[in-house]
Amino acid sequence: MNIPRLSSVAAVVLLTSLAISAAAQEKNPEIPSMTAVEKETAKKIYFERCAGCHGVLRKGATGKNLEPHWSKTDKDGKKTEGGMLQLGQSRLEKIIGYGTDGGMVNFDDILTKEELSLMAKYIQNTPDVPPEYSFKDTMDSWKVIVAVKDRPTKQMNKFNLKNFFSVTLRDTGEVALIDGDTKEIRSIVKTGYAVHISRMSKSGRYVYVIGRDGRLSLIDLWMEKPGVVAELKIGFDARSVDTSKFKGYEDKYAIAGSYWPPQYVIMDGDTLKPLKVVSTRGMTVDGEYHPEPRVASIVSSEIKPEWVVNIKETGQILLVDYSDIKNLKTTTIESAKFLHDGGWDASKRYFLVAANASNKVAAVDTKLGKLAALIDTAKLPHPGRGANFVHPQFGPVWATGHLGADVVTLISTPSEEKKYAKYKGYNWKVVQEMKHMPGNLFVKTHPKSRHFWADASQNPDKDLAESVVVWDLADLSKPKKVLNVAKDSGMPETKAVRRAVHPEYNADGTEVWISLWGGKTDQSAIVVYDDKTLTVKKVITDPKMITPTGKFNVYNE
């Protein structure tokens, strides 16, 4: 991993923050002391396991604020004392170990007792401010492994690339490229740590994968053995990437968003050469300045030369016009704070994104360039991409699950097709809440399927976390079946939880692939179900396939 040397300014910021932390500890002896080695170990664990929900500065978003001295509001709206020190070491260890009903998983089968204790100490100490990451730092990290002129001019393998899966191997910093027809692993590619998403180029040739460590990798599927042809480090923590997809700009540019520093990078689509770095620091929709407004998700419009860039902490949705990179034009749309993931409606005109800690879903009309609706939902919506289908009573709907509520929410979406005109009165309303269970991360269906799938991988109950729920789209009043994926895999039972996560369809909608996400030393697997019979067709295992999580089918992407 190419980590640049700290600039003098960044070094001063880092040393100052350490000095402040030390001074705070001396002033308040209740703060648990930590050695430099303990602090570095805890910082690494926090980055890998906690920062995504709670933030690098621990100010909270999907997860709660974890600053040592946060205050809370009582029922009368008055500020009261609170914080990590008031909870205490023992209580914090239990919270981290056992998880919460709000969607935080139990870490007692992921971290050792010593690590649980260490993390409880760490969050009682003042967080350090990480260094910045400049355009020069970004440029210095850029690496072209295979020049464009040296790449194949045609597909050099015989794989059916329309049914390929890019599978995140979370803890090894790799993706496995799996043939959806044969279920064989065709290549395991070294990438960034815990790849959050795999995005396809408009051409279908390249896969862009972004790790949570900010490492962006460009994979060429035309090579005899698909591999990385370019790399770039866009920051220290990241989640999102896409290319330009409007006609005439297909894959000309790529964009990647960073959690830290809060900014996004625009680059050449085929080489990843950095062209522009844009900060996202600024004011929230409430009119307050925020120092860490992270880029949560990015999608590319196909009706305008624009990217939809969602800024988590500020609640601002940016429509970035890439038709003139030098004179960048951005439309800023106010929605609600703590924007996260989202997906297109069936028409691909509207983008729906969860403002999860605000318990809302924002819908953006990318044709008109403005907010179409802000819909109240149950607690902590977490849609992933969401799922579109035609409801037997309410017409076209988009679905999201929830981390903190026991329902799947269905929202009516507009359609310009005449046959759906009668459903217009339902548009942008919650038309149904299907009974599910808290801890859902992903929901999924397919245009050729009559089933709807949802996981519960963040649920604190072991059996529920290892299961998925399936509904018949003709009758959404109750689930059709609950499938215990861990038991169906035929693998030996373990005390540790193997989380059933991220249902993903194959290209033609006949199969659903589900990851069994175990620990680093546990045997993990991908369990493939027949979508019609809901029976197991194949269990994909391999010693090299460690902690599989997200699976992205090339065709469906």
Both tokens of residue 11?
């070094």
Known catalytic residue: 69? Answer: no
Q: For residue 418, what pLDDT band results from cuts at 50, 70 and 90?
A: very high
Our measurement of the distance from residue 415's CA atom to the centroid of its chain's CA atoms, rounded to an integer in Å, reads 28
pLDDT in tens, 465-520: 999 999 999 999 999 999 999 999 999 988 889 999 999 999 999 999 999 998 77
pLDDT tens for 65-79 read: 888 765 444 445 444
pTM, whole model, 2 decimals?
A: 0.86
Active site residue 283: no
Q: What is the mean pLDDT of residues 218-230?
A: 98
- What pLDDT does residue 107 have? 81
pLDDT digits (tens, 9 = 90+) for 315-331: 999 999 999 999 999 99
User: Which residue in 34, 53, 437, 491 is the catalytic one?
Assistant: 53
Domain-by-domain residue ranges, the chain?
8-122, 160-190+436-557
CA dist 367 and 552 (Å) reads 27
Count, residues in the chain: 557
Instruction: Based on the residue annotation, tell me whether 54 is a catalytic residue of this protein.
Output: yes
119: tokens are 């993390």
Split at pLDDT 50, 70, 90, the class of 82 is low
Q: Would you call 437 a catalytic residue per the annotation? A: no
What pLDDT digit, counting tens, does each position of 235-254 carry? Answer: 999 999 999 999 999 999 99
Query: pLDDT value at position 61?
Result: 75
pLDDT tens digits, 13-52: 333 344 444 444 444 557 888 998 988 898 888 877 888 7
Q: What is the pLDDT of residue 64?
A: 83
Considering the candidates 34, 104, 200, 437, report the single residue annotated as catalytic.
Answer: 104
CATH no., domain 160-190+436-557: 2.40.128
Residue type, 538: K
pLDDT value, residue 28:
53
How far, in Å, are 25, 68, 94, 99, 415 from residue 85 at the CA level? 12, 7, 14, 19, 53
267 is catalytic: no
pLDDT bin (cut points 50, 70, 90) of residue 108 is: confident
CA separation for the pair 351, 329 (Å, rounded): 20
Alpha helix stretches (DSSP H) within 191-285: none
Residue by residue, DSSP assigns 37-82 as HHHHHHHHHHHHHTHHHH-TT---SSSPP--TT--EE-TTS-EE--
Question: Could you identify the residue written with the tokens 């899966």?
Answer: 165
* Residue 127's pLDDT band (cuts 50, 70, 90): confident
Where in 170-303 does DSSP place strands (E)? 174-179, 185-190, 197-200, 206-210, 215-220, 227-233, 237-243, 253-260, 263-268, 274-279, 282-283, 289-290, 295-300
Q: Given the DSSP bridges, would you call strands 164-169 and 548-553 parallel, antiparallel or unpaired?
A: antiparallel
Q: Selecting from 3.10.129.10, 1.10.760.10, 3.90.320.10, 3.40.50.800, what CATH number does the domain 8-122 have?
A: 1.10.760.10
Average pLDDT of span 72-96: 64
Q: Active-site residue among 34, 54, 290, 451?
A: 54
- Bridge partners, residue 166, by sequence: 177, 552
Catalytic residue among 119, 200, 223, 382: 382
Check if 200 is active-site. no
